[in-house]
Amino acid sequence: MKKLLLLLIALIFLAVSCSSSKKAENDDNAVLPDEDAENDGDVTPDEDADSDDGDEIEDIDPCEPNPCENLANSDGICSRKENGGFECGCAKGYFWGHSGCKKIILPHICSGQTKCYDLEKEIECPAKGDEFYGQDAQYAALGYCLPQSFRIKNYDDEKTVIDNNTGLEWQQKVMPVAMISLDEAQNYCANLDTGNHNDWRLPSMDELSTLLYYDNSPTINLEYFPDTPSDNFWTSSRDMNDMYISYYIINFKDADKGAVISTNFMESVSRQASIRCVRGEIYESVSKTRFSVEFGEESFQGNSDTNLIWKGLMGNFDNSFSWATRLKYCEDLDFIGISEWRLANVRELETITADEVHFYSGSSSTTYTWSPEEHFGVTPYKDERYLNYVCITENPCAEDKIWNGEKCVENPCLPNPCEESESSTDTCIFNLNGKRSCYCNYGYSWDSGSQKCVADEIPDADTDETPDSDNSESGE
């Protein structure tokens, strides 16, 4: 009886031990995410996001609904960006800019500047609100312009460079003879037979300007155009306002453009320059279609092709107005109901000037990398009325409308009535009452009666009268 009792106790002990061992094994192998999520312990971010504690973070797709579907000049394809935003695919000849698909013209191509500077040296690009914020490189990084883009094309006899933005094809090497006359330059390109093509030509100033690259000296992308001399280069663009037969040149030492060389004097040393031939569909930067809007006691300029609005500095233009102050003035500007202003870069600044432009310091967000105390700018040759316009913003309206300081209205300067007007600078002016007129060339003034630019009358010698400095007045 005693032995039977001991055997029964042993069996009970064994049964309890096996049950405990099996439970422990099951606990070790158990993976119960749902149960764990209900515990009070630590959870992963994903588990936390799936919880019902009221703090759920929704991942919003910026492409739903598709914002590109009915966007002008878009192919309708929306892509999500890493920063959570989106960009639209654009039709041929357009690129995705800061606020839509923009036509590729010279002012929309980045200057190439990728670094930031103070007045002495390269610096880490400043944060918004800090001194020197708003430089060219910073807005380029934010997508306000289209980076230069090239590719090499190999032929049996020579390499050429294709500009992916303009479609132009360039000689990679310059002519072996460094400096030649304009006639020699034109003949050389016209008779050039290389790269399986014989339709080469001397580039216009607009075309050659697309190669300017402001991040180094010589001011050209040396990866694609090595061994480029820091010399003057001929263009096929003639200065029609010069009394002599003169043509524009571009100096790739410091990106000086708008200077002219007279070809009127035989065997003159001053008529020598280098050349780089081009081929392809003629490229024109249609960036001079301007207008001006009177707004109370002030006014602002606009450009239909670039979709930019311009605001001048306060008061008269003053070269002592420092670069840092200019940057800050534009960044802090709140004008005509718009607060997003910036200092124009060197390419954008050119679009507000007359056709003939020269560089001078201090007007743009683009600095000389080899001399940070100086900054690229342009000054109109024979036409100084645009010097004050340096701050820019984007027209918040559709392409066929213009912001009038309060709302979007029909643009009375489209189509531009001044574009084909004789003796006009192509600049159309209108005010909020709907009156419009044209800016006239030097020596001419707008006549509201005839709706034309007419020659200024020469004042009598015994009077103090001088021609209207504005060379314009509002017409019906």
CATH code for the domain in which residue 209 is found: 3.10.100
Q: Is the pLDDT of residue 23 over 90?
A: no
Q: And the tokens for 245?
A: 């037969």
Structural domain that includes position 237: 150-279
Sign of CA dihedral 232, 257, 207, 444: negative
**Per residue in 78-102, pLDDT tens?**
998 877 788 899 988 888 877 688 8
Question: What gap in Å lies between CA 349 and CA 389, rounded to an integer?
Answer: 8
Question: What gap in Å lies between CA 141 and CA 431, rounded to an integer?
Answer: 36
Q: Tell me whether residue 419 is in a domain.
A: no
DSSP state letters, 138-151: HHHHTTSSBPP-EE
Sign of CA dihedral 208, 210, 214, 219: negative
Q: Is the pLDDT of residue 331 over 70?
A: yes
Q: Is the pLDDT of residue 414 over 60?
A: yes
> Quick check: 158 and 173 in contact, CB under 8 A?
yes
Q: In this predicted structure, what is the pLDDT of residue 35?
A: 36
Between the alpha carbon of residue 130 and those of residues 275, 324, 326, 459, the distances in Å are 43, 10, 13, 52
Phi, psi of 436 (to 5 degrees): -140, 155
Q: In this predicted structure, what is the pLDDT of residue 271?
A: 64
Sign of CA dihedral 35, 37, 38, 40: positive
Q: Tell me whether residue 321 is in a domain.
A: no
Cross-sheet strand order for the sheet of 256-262: 232-238, 246-251, 256-262
Number of other CB atoms surrounding residue 19 within 10 Å: 10
DSSP state letters, 212-274: B-TTSSSSB-TTTSTT--SSEEEEEEE-TT-SS-EEEEEETTTTEEEEEEE--STT-GGG-BB
Instruction: Return all residues near 42 (Cβ < 8 A) that are at least 6 apart.
Output: none
pLDDT category of residue 348 using cuts at 50, 70 and 90: confident
Q: And the tokens for 353?
A: 């000037």
Tracing tokens 């306060």 back to the chain, one arrives at 314
Q: Tell me whether residue 258 is in a domain.
A: yes
Q: Tell me whether residue 24 is in a domain.
A: no
For the segment 214-241, the average pLDDT, to the nearest whole number, is 87
Beta bridge partners of 169: 162, 279
Q: Is the pLDDT of residue 54 over 50?
A: no
Number of other CB atoms surrounding residue 11 within 10 Å: 9
What does DSSP say about strands 150-154 and 101-103: parallel, antiparallel, or unpaired?
unpaired
Instruction: Return all residues near 327 (Cβ < 8 A) that are at least 6 apart.
Output: 132, 133, 134, 135, 343, 365
Q: Tell me whether residue 388 is in a domain.
A: no
Instruction: Return all residues near 300 (Cβ < 8 A) that are at least 6 apart.
Output: 292, 293, 309, 310, 311, 312, 335, 336, 405
Who wins on pLDDT, 402 or 138?
Answer: 138
Highest averaged pLDDT of the listed ranges 47-56, 258-267, 308-317, 452-461: 452-461
Sign of CA dihedral 370, 375, 376, 378: negative
Q: And the tokens for 359?
A: 């560089």
In this structure, of 6-15, 111-120, 275-284, 342-351, the range with the lowest mean pLDDT score is 6-15
For the segment 396-413, the average pLDDT, to the nearest whole number, is 82
Question: What gap in Å lies between CA 117 and CA 124, rounded to an integer?
Answer: 8
Number of other CB atoms surrounding residue 123 within 10 Å: 15
Q: And the tokens for 306?
A: 């670039």
Q: Tell me whether residue 202 is in a domain.
A: yes
Q: Is the pLDDT of residue 24 over 60?
A: no
Total domains in the chain come to 1
Q: Is the pLDDT of residue 44 over 70?
A: no
Q: Tell me whether residue 122 is in a domain.
A: no
DSSP state letters, 294-363: EETTEEEEEETTTTEEEEEPSSS--TTS-HHHHHHHHHH--BTTB---EE--HHHHHTTS-SSEEE-TTS
Q: Which H/E stretch holds residue 20?
A: helix 2-29
Burial of 29-44, coded b for 16+ CB within 10 Å and e otherwise, reads eeeeeeeeeeeeeebe
Q: Tell me whether residue 162 is in a domain.
A: yes
Question: What gap in Å lies between CA 82 and CA 42, rounded to an integer?
Answer: 29
For the segment 222-240, the average pLDDT, to the nearest whole number, is 88
pLDDT category of residue 187 using cuts at 50, 70 and 90: very high
